[in-house]
Amino acid sequence: MTVPVPDPPVPDPPVSRRPDPDPLDPGAPDPEPPTFWDAGLIRQVSHQVADLVADYLTGLPGGPAYQRPPGSLVEAMCAAEWAEQGEPAGAVLADFAAHVAPYPLGNGHPGFAAWVNSPPHPLGVLAEALAAAMDPSVAGGNHAAVHVEHQVIRWFAGLLGWPAGYSGQLVSGGSAATLTALAVARHRTAARAGADDRRDGLAGLAGRLVVYAGTESHSCVAKAAEVLGLGSAAIRVVPSDPGHRMRPDELERLVRAERAAGKLAVAVVATAGTTNTGAIDPLDEIAAVCGRHGLWLHVDGAYGAPPVLLLDGYRAARDGLARADSVAVDAHKWLYAPVDAGLVLLRDGGVARDTFSLVPAYLRTDGDEDGPGGPVWFSEYGLEQTRPFRALKVWMQLRHLGQDGYRRLIAADLAAAGELRRAVAASADFELLASGLSVVCFRHRPGGMSPARLDEHNQAVLKAVQLGGRAFLAGTTVDGVFALRACIVNPGLTTARVAGLLGDIRHRAAELLSPG
């Protein structure tokens, strides 16, 4: 991939400031604020950045799917000190073009099908610059960024059919969304037990609180349990069916047994699109169990919520998702927004506010819609005080693509995964191990190779494919065996490219198996 080097460096003008006026002279002019660059230099450097962005994004298909940074470059970065004197912006951009842009993760390349990292939509990339130019803290207040975020929350809550009273906010991703949701669930559980977890922590509750999660739950559930003081030992793993989905009957059994033992359930964490195999838990049946026992249901939809919310083929899962108490969605996964753009939705906004608000009750308001205070602040509903303008890129992309545009993009990803699944199943030298949504887990299985060697062989094939530059897959374990894992959230990886993907795997495998 060739990345253009910007024009020769242009010296940055020094920060300028007029002398302060005499504070005793009422006729003195107002001082000009400090300035960094004038409009001309902002435009010049912005045009250089725009050229870099355009050439980078459009040049990705012609380059390698992944290119490891040379060891000498990494060593130089580790050794570099922060200089006393600054450099012209053009010199910094030239260094980016030469030493950063050529070595990306690879998720913008049409051969990338590894982790759940989508290519960014160009409008989202540009929206990041606009959000940074405004640079508000979206903790609260009555400014445009706050109302944009509320609009995004309302649109997603509308897809769920939730009535008024919900809350939500943009967060860094599914991990932060799950931590936020489980903190609210813990607070509700503690309050029902007559405890004040905000004042006393887990005093009187230690060892009694449990969380139910499936065998395929994301690691962020365990991390949240640890951070919230529950401990990973508090997680009760619910067995899965052969399709790697949580079994509602086993959940029912565990809930009854734990309740009889004096345990208090914080939440059940179900998944709409597991990271490992793409499985969608039977959300409606799990919601029924939660309803019978008064349990909080959190659904991790960080990966799989968009097709569930938008495509008619997932209507049954959508009905179950709508019954959740909290939902996590990552717009930077299957909605193609630049990182980071996570979303947490909470059905009961009042409980969320009780969990996080540090405003004394006698100072609480329902919002100052006509003044600078604005709606109730986002910081009263979550962990962050200073909050970036994450919502702008999501809002712009939702408006630009519309529901229909997203349906077509997501359907194309599903079609490519379906083609890969069919091709693997029809091939004598590949074995399909698991598949759900746009995830396909499989392995290369040469004739005559013993089962004991298959894991080692596929691990070697994976590394060869990743370093080969034509495609990029991930590795995982399915039912105890090593698998090649493709996750397609990449409109550039079309059905027409699937044959080439499998061909590259066969080619790398043949090289590894050839004598000498």
363: which DSSP letter?
G
CATH superfamily of 401-513: Aspartate Aminotransferase, domain 1 (3.90.1150.10)
- Dihedral angle computed from the Cα positions of residues 120, 123, 129 and 130, in that order, rounded to the nearest 10 degrees: -150
| Bridge-based pairing state of the strands 209-214 and 264-271 | parallel
**Residue 7: which pLDDT band, with cuts at 50, 70 and 90?**
low
Angle between helices 122-134 and 144-160 (to 10 degrees): 140
What is the per-residue pLDDT across 452-461, written as a single tens digit (0 to 9) for each?
A: 899 999 999 9
Q: Cβ(438)–Cβ(311) under 8 Å?
A: no
State residue 16's pLDDT score. Answer: 46
Q: What is the CATH number of domain 136-195+204-388?
A: 3.40.640.10
pLDDT by residue (tens digit) across 368-400? 667 777 789 999 999 999 999 999 999 999 999
What value does the mean pLDDT of the chain take? 92
Give the type of residue at 499. A
Is residue 278 within 8 A of residue 437, CB to CB? The reply is yes
- 154: pLDDT strictly greater than 50: yes
- The Cβ of residue 61 has, within 10 Å, a number of other Cβ atoms equal to 13
Q: What is the pLDDT averaged over residues 73-98?
A: 95
C-alpha to C-alpha distance for 367 and 347, rounded to whole angstroms: 19
Mean pLDDT of 69-74: 95
How far apart (Å, rounded) are the C-alpha atoms in residues 317 and 286? 11
Contacts of 458 (CB under 8 A, 6+ apart): 443, 444, 475, 482, 483, 484
Q: Tokens in use for 130? A: 């606009």
> Of 142, 135, 258, which Cα lies nearest the Cα of 189?
258
pTM, two decimal places: 0.91
For residue 31, pLDDT beyond 80 = no
> Which residues have a Cβ under 8 Å from the Cβ of 22 and sit 6 or more positions away?
28
Does pLDDT of 475 surpass 80?
A: yes
Summarised one tens digit per residue, pLDDT across range 412-464 is 999 999 999 999 999 999 999 999 999 999 999 998 899 889 999 999 999 99
**Helix, strand, or coil (residue 416):** helix
Identify the CA nearest to 121 among candidates 416, 342, 331, 391. 331
Q: Is the pLDDT of residue 149 over 60?
A: yes
Measuring CA to CA, which residue among 330, 191, 319, 199 is closest to residue 273? 330
| Distance in angstroms (rounded) separating the CA atoms of residues 338 and 60 | 16
- Whole-angstrom distance between the N-terminal and C-terminal Cα of the chain? 32
- 3-class state of residue 60 by DSSP: helix
Strand order in the sheet with 297-300: 167-171, 342-346, 326-330, 297-300, 264-271, 209-214, 235-238
Query: Tokens in use for 224?
Result: 């949240």
Structure tokens given for 147 = 């109302």
Q: Is 473 within 8 Å of 465 (Cβ atoms)?
A: yes
- Determine contact, residues 249/238, Cβ cutoff 8 Å: no
- The alpha carbon dihedral of 378, 382, 385, 387 has a sign of negative
Indicate the domain borders of the chain: 1-104, 136-195+204-388, 401-513
For residue 122 the two structure tokens come to 């160009």
